């Protein structure tokens, strides 16, 4: 069964801290891994990863995939209060269903 597990489930940090969010997955036919940010509304797309070792970067956010060990990490450096959100990791399911398998999400709270 396809599965995505995220850790930690929640995290509280102070502005300026660096955080690392983890995502492990099991899927029969891996095609990609996606990271989303959700702030009390619809998830918004952050990164798509398909190849191991290629780091994706967008400002203070970066992500990397390890296809051998079946996990990905999302790093946020110099955190700001605006980074407070739920971060979701997802993989497309093996079947032709248009389904994304989501992890439970990591709730990040950044305190001033």
Of 13 and 100, the one with the shorter C-beta distance to another protein is 100
Tokens, residue 1: 């069964």
Asked, as a colleague might, if the bond just before 8 is cis with ω within 30 of 0, I would say yes
Q: Closest distance between another protein and the C-beta of residue 74, in Å?
A: 15
Q: Closest distance between another protein and the C-beta of residue 79, in Å?
A: 23
**Interface contacts to another protein, rule CB under 8 A:** 31-32, 34, 41-45, 48, 88, 90, 92, 96-100, 102-105
Of 35 and 79, the one with the shorter C-beta distance to another protein is 35
Rounded to the nearest 5 percent, the helix, strand and coil shares of the chain are 5, 55, 40
Measure the CA–CA gap between 37 and 85, rounded to whole angstroms: 7
Under 8 Å between Cβ of 15 and 68 = no
Of 34 and 85, the one with the shorter C-beta distance to another protein is 34
Tokens, residue 45: 């797309």
Under 8 Å between Cβ of 13 and 106 = no
Of 3 and 14, the one with the shorter C-beta distance to another protein is 3
């Amino acid at each position: 069964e396809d599965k995505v597990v995220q850790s930690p489930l929640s995290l509280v940090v102070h502005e300026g801290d660096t955080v690392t969010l983890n995502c492990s997955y099991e899927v029969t036919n891996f095609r990609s891994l996606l990271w989303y940010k959700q702030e009390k509304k619809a998830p918004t797309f952050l990164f798509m990863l398909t190849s191991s070792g290629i780091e994706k970067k967008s400002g203070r956010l970066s992500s990397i995939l390890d296809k051998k060990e079946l996990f990905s990490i999302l790093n946020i450096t110099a955190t700001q209060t605006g980074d407070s959100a739920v971060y979701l990791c997802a993989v497309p399911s093996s079947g032709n269903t248009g389904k994304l398998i989501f992890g439970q999400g990591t709730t990040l709270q950044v305190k001033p």
